[in-house]
Amino acid sequence: MIKRALLSVWDKTGIEALARGLAELGVTLTATSGTTRVLRDHGIAATEASELTAFPEMLDGRIKTLHPAIHGAIMAVRSNESHMSQLQEKHIEPIDMVVSNLYPFKETIRKGNVDLTEAMEHIDTGGPALIRSSALNYRDVLILVDPSDYGPILEELQRTGSVSLMTRYKLAYKAFMHTSHYDTLIQNYFRSKLGHNAFPDIMTLTYEKVQDMRYGENPHQKAALYREVGPAVGCISEARQIHGIELSYNNIDDANEAIALLKEFDGPSVVVVKNGSPYAAASGSTIEEAWHKALNADPAAIFGGIAAANREIDVKTAQSMAQVFLEVLVAPSFSEEAAAILKEKKNLRLLCLDNISKKMPEGSLDLKKVIGGLLVQSYNDLFLEEPRVVTQKQPDAKEWEDLRFALKVAKHASSDAIVLARDEMVVGIGQGQSSRISAIRIAAEGKKAKGDLRCVLASDGFLTFPDTLEEAAKAGVSAIIQPGGSQRDQEIIAICDRYGIAMVFSGIRHLRH
């Protein structure tokens, strides 16, 4: 039986309808000052919380409900005679229902570029205490933190005059989840201010569900997509689907990889990913040129892939894309005519992602779940710092351009990775191999169909063995970029000099498992 309810909400959505419904059921309403004003403006009688405490709100409203007259009324266990006698002794009437939500800290930090002072002004203290006290005593106190629950709870009260114990338990769980999420947002915000190398002794993370999936990697696995809370960073969880059937778990995983690689490029570029790794990529003066270069480099690799572009898709590009089987296409936007052409393909998922080219913010973390734990590292946001030419031959301007392009792709390929590129497009790629000799043979095999034109090579790790360089020479490689730093560097350099191949040491390893 609900006799008295306390209402203290920042988000006033639905509060008037709930309060009116409770009043009609004979529930006595008490509210904090802001909520009281809203209720009275709608002609709903409510006692202000300060009348219960006999103590005015103070410190600009920071102290409202932190008082025994309120928390005692909430936390007293009704079946505990000692608790109830103490309430009677202090002339405190029990509160049977609490409706509360918190200051908009999440909305504040999502704006981006928020200073610490402004953020701290939106950290709630009394609200979490109110919610936790209520959830702790869920058998006797009904706690509502989500406006979407107002209607169903009011309907249950109207229908039965009470709320079931299971419903109370579920609402208590939701309340603890609400405050936990809120506190984690705050501590993660504070952690972000400590800089790139802040790895706390206790790692707490929080995400919000975007959608449930039909299934996971395989049909027998359940799955859902969640997103981090914070300013937009141009990630897959922010994309808007404008056409096509529901995205699968694997679609999202591959689209994520495509977007991550695409962020490496500033000019018009297209990336195609399959099975979690890049298989085609190209840059051009326009997005149409980039697409055709990627397509012509390896049509077989593109078939059934997940494509991402960093410029609007125009009509001509869409007409060509419509001739190829793609699972997903992600772009900042589609022209009206281009969208109409692509929407004729019923199974093609079209996603719009406004910030697709936005670089990852400083301090971003890379997380990998392991059994019973979590691997955490700083995001790989380095590319090149001071590359050093170590051979007699120097790369020319065109080779430098292609070396940088190839290394960007190698950075996102699965180790051991070898990328062959020419004219800012991938012409061969070997990845996920147990040795680099295997990777280069696979990459060279992919290049054979494209003729004997010269190309450059990028390796994500050390090139240590002579046979790898022999294969590179056979594949028509004219310049190589690799980390350098192995014990056999001088031997490798000598082989390059013998074949007239330029070699650059990047000084940076980009292994990716």
Give the contacts of 132 (CB within 8 A, at least 6 positions apart).
175, 176, 179
Question: Domain range for residue 406?
Answer: 382-505
Give which of 368, 376, 363 is closest to 233, Cα–Cα. Answer: 363
pLDDT at 12: 92
pLDDT at 218: 93
Sign of CA dihedral 83, 84, 90, 92: positive
pLDDT band at 149 (very low <50, low <70, confident <90, very high): very high
Please indicate, yes or no, whether residues 219 and 342 belong to a single structural domain of this protein: yes
Rounded to 10 degrees, what is the CA torsion of 268, 503, 386, 364? Answer: 50
CATH (domain of 8)? 3.40.50.1380
How many structural domains compose the chain? Answer: 3
> 3-class DSSP state for residue 201?
coil
Please indicate, yes or no, whether residues 66 and 164 belong to a single structural domain of this protein: yes
Please indicate, yes or no, whether residues 157 and 17 belong to a single structural domain of this protein: yes
Please indicate, yes or no, whether residues 152 and 256 belong to a single structural domain of this protein: no
Number of other CB atoms surrounding residue 501 within 10 Å:
22
pLDDT band at 62 (very low <50, low <70, confident <90, very high): low
- Please state the rounded mean pLDDT for residues 128-135: 93
Would 200 be classed as within a structural domain? no
DSSP assignment string, 298-328: -HHHHTTEEEEESS-B-HHHHHHHTTS-EEE
What is the biggest distance separating any 2 CA atoms in the chain, rounded to whole angstroms? 97
pLDDT at 195: 64
CATH (domain of 222)? 3.40.140.20
Please indicate, yes or no, whether residues 345 and 387 belong to a single structural domain of this protein: no
Would 358 be classed as within a structural domain? no
Structure tokens at 336: 């009206």
Please indicate, yes or no, whether residues 74 and 179 belong to a single structural domain of this protein: yes
> 3-class DSSP state for residue 408?
helix
Encode 20-39: b = buried (16+ Cβ within 10 Å), e = exposed.
bbbbeeebbbbbbeebbebb
Q: Which of 337, 352, 367 is the last residue of a domain?
A: 352
Please indicate, yes or no, whether residues 160 and 236 belong to a single structural domain of this protein: no
CA distance 323 to 490: 49
- Please state the rounded mean pLDDT for residues 213-233: 89
In this predicted model, what pLDDT tens digit does every residue of 23-39 receive, in sequence order? Answer: 999 999 999 888 989 99
pLDDT at 229: 83
Would 362 be classed as within a structural domain? no
Strand ordering across the sheet containing 388-389: 388-389, 502-505, 477-482, 455-459, 418-421, 426-430
Please indicate, yes or no, whether residues 94 and 131 belong to a single structural domain of this protein: yes
Q: Which residue has the higher pLDDT, 494 or 103?
A: 494
Would 433 be classed as within a structural domain? yes
pLDDT at 385: 80
- Please state the rounded mean pLDDT for residues 421-427: 94
Please indicate, yes or no, whether residues 348 and 402 belong to a single structural domain of this protein: no
pTM of the model: 0.84
Please indicate, yes or no, whether residues 212 and 327 belong to a single structural domain of this protein: yes
| CB-count burial class (<10 Å; 0-12, 13-18, 19+) for 77 | middle
pLDDT band at 61 (very low <50, low <70, confident <90, very high): low
CA geometry: angle 9, 13, 16, nearest 5 deg:
85
Q: Which of 192, 217, 248 is the last residue of a domain?
A: 192
Please indicate, yes or no, whether residues 425 and 299 belong to a single structural domain of this protein: no
Would 13 be classed as within a structural domain? yes
pLDDT band at 366 (very low <50, low <70, confident <90, very high): confident
Q: Which residue has the higher pLDDT, 28 or 192?
A: 28
In this predicted model, what pLDDT tens digit does every residue of 397-420 receive, in sequence order? Answer: 999 999 999 999 999 999 899 999
Please indicate, yes or no, whether residues 22 and 160 belong to a single structural domain of this protein: yes
pLDDT at 337: 96
pLDDT band at 91 (very low <50, low <70, confident <90, very high): confident
Ranking 125-129, 199-203, 321-325 by mean pLDDT, the lowest is 199-203
Would 364 be classed as within a structural domain? no
In this predicted model, what pLDDT tens digit does every residue of 324-351 receive, in sequence order? Answer: 999 999 999 999 999 999 999 999 999 9
In this predicted model, what pLDDT tens digit does every residue of 348-361 receive, in sequence order? Answer: 999 999 999 999 88
CA distance 43 to 50: 20
Would 201 be classed as within a structural domain? no
Residue 271, H or E segment: strand 269-274
The chain-wide mean pLDDT, for the chain, equals 90
pLDDT at 113: 76
Q: Which of 163, 192, 221 is the last residue of a domain?
A: 192
330 forms beta bridges with: 308, 351
Would 372 be classed as within a structural domain? no
Count the residues in the chain. Answer: 513
